[in-house]
Amino acid sequence: MPFWGRKKKQDSTPAARPESAPDSRQPTIEGPSSPAPPPSPAEKKGLFARMASSLGRIKDGLAKTRGFLAAGFGSIFSIRGKIDQAKLDQLEELMITADMGIDTVTKLLDRVRAAWRNREIETTDQLQDFLKAQLKALLTQQDVGIGHAEKPPTVILVAGVNGSGKTTSIAKLANHFRDRGGRVLLCASDTYRAAAVEQLTIWAERLGVDIVRHQRGGDPGAVAYDACDAALARGADVLIVDTAGRLHTQQNLMRELEKIRRVIEKKIPGAPHEVILVLDATTGQNAIAQAKQFREAIKVTGIFLAKLDGTAKGGIVVAVKDQLGIPVKFIGLGEKPADIQPFDPDAFVEALFA
């Protein structure tokens, strides 16, 4: 429900700050004019528990991908059909076209061909079951659960290039944790892009969560420092830190991102507990190149794959996991805050073949 923020004054004699915190501007900490009562322990019990994804929601969100694959799968996986080289070649081409990546597809098809030669699989329905099992195994090699602090707050640092859907994805994350009984605080450390702070503030108002922000052009590290202070003081369960959208080739901005991380680490030991990189699923293999650079700079722990509903090539999920070794933790399946699903490998694979 929308709310009108109110400003809360900070002590006029702030304590000495570590690296990246010095900024003469006073932070603005806005929250609901009528804060909700604190969630009960029962409400918070499942805050970071692994959530089962809705197969129906994922099927709907993957409608374009499923439509793209349907014709090809239909001719390959015919009832009681026999496997032959032509079908395997057709399957390989279809998977590459779906953006699963040449290296990944080659590895998967090598296993399929070996199983066929060894007569482990002979019919196309056996082929489908074998391929589904291989995809699920690949996607579950790492834990897709959400890392969190033993003692609140859990800090989630979010990065991504401009246009990736980062701000909307942050709103979805905030909505996800708020709906599970968590006290959520947003940090607007994207102080450079025009309207970035305003956009995140609007989302905070819509969702009824607090936000820490400085004026445009302020020191991003200082905003993160103040947000950590506020999260500790207010008993927040989750602090989500936005960062300036940047290209993976902009080394100065990548260094700034490293600096923000160091500020958070010094203020809250063990934080950030998750470093989420937002990737635009519609950019296909270019997303892989972006992710490799971010991975080196900030130790990415998980991927939020945004705009998955907007592409017919949802196989990018498989390529991201296989080529980067970073688990996909959330997928975005629409524009609304509720259009988020914790990534469930089994549900995703079943939806592809549904």
Q: Per the structure block, which two tokens stand in for 54?
A: 């809705």
Residue 13: how many CB atoms within 10 A of its CB? 5
In this structure, the answer to whether residues 161 and 117 fall within a common structural domain is no
Flag whether 134 is in a domain: yes
Q: Are residues 307 and 160 in the same domain?
A: yes
For 198-222, how does the pLDDT look when each residue is reduced to its tens digit (9 = 90+)?
999 999 999 999 999 998 778 999 9
291 part of a folded domain: yes
- Token readout for 270 is 């063990």
What distance in Å separates the CA atoms of residue 83 and residue 104, rounded to the nearest whole number? 21
Answer yes or no: do 133 and 160 share one domain: no
Asked if residue 93 and residue 205 are part of one domain, the reply reads no
Residues 110 and 181 in one domain: no
- 320 φ, ψ (degrees, to nearest 5): -60, -50
* pLDDT given at position 247: 62
Are residues 120 and 180 both part of a single domain? no
Give pLDDT, residue 74. 87
Shared domain for 335 and 211, answered yes or no, is: yes
* DSSP sequence for 182-245: --EEEEEE--SSTTHHHHHHHHHHHHT-EEEE--TT--HHHHHHHHHHHHHHHT-SEEEEEE--
- Give the C-alpha separation, 227 to 232, whole Å: 9
* Distance between CA atoms of residues 154 and 149, nearest Å: 5
Amino acid letter for position 50:
R
Residues 258 and 311 in one domain: yes
Assign 29 to helix, strand or coil. strand
* Residue 135 shares a structural domain with residue 161: no
> 178 and 129 in one domain?
no
Considering the domain boundaries, does residue 30 fall inside one?
no
Question: Would 25 be classed as within a structural domain?
Answer: no
The answer to whether residues 268 and 184 belong to one domain is yes
Whether the CB-CB separation of 169 and 302 falls below 8 Å is answered with: no
Q: What Å distances lie between residue 106 and 45, 83, 112, 329, CA to CA?
A: 43, 18, 10, 25
Antiparallel, parallel or unpaired: β 302-306 and 154-159: unpaired
Residue 32 belongs to a domain: no
| Local structure of 288: helix, strand or coil | helix
How many whole angstroms separate alpha carbon 121 and alpha carbon 141?
A: 24
Question: Is residue 133 situated within a structural domain?
Answer: yes
Q: What is the CATH number of the domain that holds 290?
A: 3.40.50.300
For 275-286, b/e burial (b = at least 16 CB within 10 A) is bbbbbbbbbbee
17 domain residue, yes or no: no
Final residue before a domain boundary, out of 72, 104, 139: 139
CATH of the domain at 90: 1.20.120.140
pLDDT digits over 10-54, tens only? 333 333 344 444 444 556 666 654 444 555 444 454 666 655 557
**The domain boundary residue, chosen from 139, 171, 201:** 139
- Give domain status of residue 10, yes or no: no
**What pLDDT shows up at residue 19?**
46
Q: 139, 171, 196 — which closes off a domain?
A: 139
Does residue 2 contact residue 28 with C-beta atoms inside 8 Å? no
Mean pLDDT per 10-residue section of the chain, whose length is 354 residues:
31 38 53 49 55 75 90 83 94 94 96 97 95 95 82 96 92 96 96 87 97 89 97 98 75 83 96 96 87 83 94 91 92 94 92 88
- Dihedral Cα 235, 273, 190, 169, nearest 10 deg: -90
> Which domain, by its residues, includes 183?
154-343
pLDDT at 39: 52
Residue 248: per-residue pLDDT: 52
Nearest Cα neighbor of 282 from 250, 315, 249 is 315
**Which token pair is 52?**
């089962």
Do 68 and 172 share a structural domain? no
- At 51 the pLDDT is 52
**Tally of structural domains, the chain:** 2
